[in-house]
């Protein structure tokens, strides 16, 4: 069957991510962009359909590089509303230990739906909780991703260092190394897709230095290299974590990362706030990426990542909404706005433009996930894109359509395409009953807390 060729004609504004003049639109054939049409021109490719994009601002599909989907069930929970990271975690671990497969299915659906409606087409999740009964947690997530038609890098997380051995999580939430590594290899064999256009990929993601043993960190890195998949972990999020590494390993966080074989371009790190100048240079030289999570960092008062310096040193910088118990949402276009403003506090307005912030959420995030086929709108790249209208009152009087997305506070995409297929049309997800999802998800959240007591 011959794929359909569509011209997205003369958008109100467009950000391609590679400085191409696409003011007359894009031509998409099947799952790929085949042409960027410059101002005043017609497509050189014959087209089957023309979509009038004159009301839309078009950007590459946003890419989320760090999340915990299950946390949508514990948003704005009163006991930890004003806690910082370590007490926040200790307050929530006991709740999360009660997760069921149905809870995770609903939480994952809610997180992905919210992301998709915000213009996100690819999402990475860091799932590290496998209490009794939830051993197939990643399998549950794969099913949801496929149902919604999004792309995802689902990471098989792990915790092996419990309270009894000097770690932070309770013993009921940790697993032994043999179980972790065997399941990691199983999931890669079952689900990991390779090459351009992949929809589901598996990464390996020991949770953090304070919840995983050195042995699991090192053996996971060896497994990832053998099976050629990516590595992810939390690092340098708080000064408490820095103190933990000094006391337990007699190392700073980046020294510890190198000691377990993680200082490489296979790895991407969540948060990456508390690095000194030398560590930034080392991360850049290694090509180790950082997922900047602006809202979570403000919510937990963790600090401000040195995103511009990391990027200029050679470390890919992407964006992540982080878990919905520390954001407390999964809206990626809002996260771009937060990153823009937070980084301006550190580097000034001239250094952090709307285009730079959008670049972190698109091409930068794609690099963090090891994807060369995503993140820009250019011939040969995947046809993943988001389209926003500027019809709301908040945009009235705005002049630069691309800048207005961030400065005026866009919240919801009108249309979203993944691999050439419309997944959001007129602000609604194709095939998803959102009202029913909200009802079931809210009930599951209440039941989870009730079981916790």
Task: Indicate if 50 and 68 belong to the same structural domain.
Answer: no
The yes-or-no verdict on residue 453 having pLDDT over 80 is no
375 within a domain of the structure (yes/no) = no
Task: Indicate if 321 and 206 belong to the same structural domain.
Answer: yes
446 within a domain of the structure (yes/no) = no
171 within a domain of the structure (yes/no) = yes
Q: Give CA separation, 2 vs 26, 44, 99, 230, 250, in Å.
A: 19, 18, 45, 35, 61
Report percent pLDDT > 90 for the chain. Answer: 93
Task: Indicate if 314 and 406 belong to the same structural domain.
Answer: no
- Indicate whether this model's pTM tops 0.95: yes
77 within a domain of the structure (yes/no) = yes
Task: Indicate if 200 and 310 belong to the same structural domain.
Answer: yes
Cα 98 from Cα 172, distance rounded (Å): 10
For the segment 44-64, the average pLDDT, to the nearest whole number, is 97
183 within a domain of the structure (yes/no) = yes
Cα-Cα-Cα-Cα dihedral of 217, 222, 226, 227, to 10°? Answer: 0
pLDDT tens per residue across span 286-302: 999 999 999 999 999 99
pLDDT at residue 163 in the model:
86
Q: Based on the structure, what is the number of domains in the chain?
A: 2
The yes-or-no verdict on residue 1 having pLDDT over 80 is no
Task: Indicate if 140 and 54 belong to the same structural domain.
Answer: no
Task: Indicate if 251 and 294 belong to the same structural domain.
Answer: yes
pLDDT tens per residue across span 379-431: 999 999 999 999 999 999 999 999 999 999 999 999 999 999 999 999 999 99
Which residues constitute the domain of residue 78?
A: 62-368
The yes-or-no verdict on residue 252 having pLDDT over 80 is yes
pLDDT at residue 167 in the model:
83
Where do we find the tokens 């910082």?
A: 84
């Amino acid at each position: 069957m011959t794929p359909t060729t569509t011209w997205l004609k003369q958008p109100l504004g467009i950000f391609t991510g590679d400085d191409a003049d696409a003011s007359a639109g894009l031509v998409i054939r099947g799952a790929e962009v085949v042409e960027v049409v410059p101002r005043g021109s017609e497509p050189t490719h014959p087209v089957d359909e023309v979509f009038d994009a004159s009301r839309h601002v078009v950007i590459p599909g946003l890419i989320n590089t760090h999340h915990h989907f299950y946390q949508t069930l514990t948003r704005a929970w009163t006991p930890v509303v004003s806690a910082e990271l370590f007490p926040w975690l200790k307050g929530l671990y006991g709740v999360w230990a009660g997760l069921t497969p149905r809870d995770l299915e609903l939480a994952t659906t809610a997180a992905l739906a919210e992301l998709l409606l915000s213009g996100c087409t690819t999402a990475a999740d860091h799932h590290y909780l496998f209490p009794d009964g939830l051993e197939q947690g990643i399998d549950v997530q794969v099913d949801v991703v496929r149902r919604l038609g999004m792309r995802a890098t689902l990471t098989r997380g792990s915790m092996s260092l419990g309270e009894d051995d000097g770690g932070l999580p309770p013993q009921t939430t940790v697993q032994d190394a043999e179980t972790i590594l065997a399941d990691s290899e199983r999931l890669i064999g079952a689900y990991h897709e390779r090459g351009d256009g992949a929809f589901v990929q598996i990464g390996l993601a020991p949770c953090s230095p304070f919840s995983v043993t050195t042995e699991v960190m090192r053996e996971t890195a060896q497994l990832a290299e053998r099976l050629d998949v990516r590595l992810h972990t939390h690092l340098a999020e708080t000064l408490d974590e820095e103190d933990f590494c000094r006391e337990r390993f007699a190392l700073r966080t980046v020294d510890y990362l190198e000691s377990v074989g993680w200082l490489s371009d296979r790895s991407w790190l969540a948060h990456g706030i508390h690095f000194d100048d030398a560590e930034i240079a080392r991360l850049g030289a290694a090509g180790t990426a950082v997922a900047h999570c602006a809202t979570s960092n403000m919510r937990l008062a963790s600090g401000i990542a040195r995103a511009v310096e990391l990027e200029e040193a050679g470390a890919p910088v992407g964006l992540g909404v982080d878990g919905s118990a520390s954001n407390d949402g999964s809206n990626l276009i809002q996260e771009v706005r937060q990153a823009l403003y937070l980084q301006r506090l550190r580097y000034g307005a001239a250094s952090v433009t709307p285009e730079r912030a959008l670049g972190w959420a698109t091409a930068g995030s794609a690099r963090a996930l090891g994807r060369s086929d995503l993140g820009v709108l250019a011939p040969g790249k995947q046809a993943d894109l988001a389209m926003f209208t500027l019809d709301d009152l908040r945009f009235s009087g705005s002049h630069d359509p691309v800048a207005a997305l961030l400065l005026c506070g866009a919240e919801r995409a009108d249309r979203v395409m993944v691999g050439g297929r419309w997944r959001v049309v007129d602000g609604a997800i194709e095939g998803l009953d959102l009202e029913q999802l909200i009802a079931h998800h809210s009930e599951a959240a209440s039941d989870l807390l009730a079981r916790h007591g």
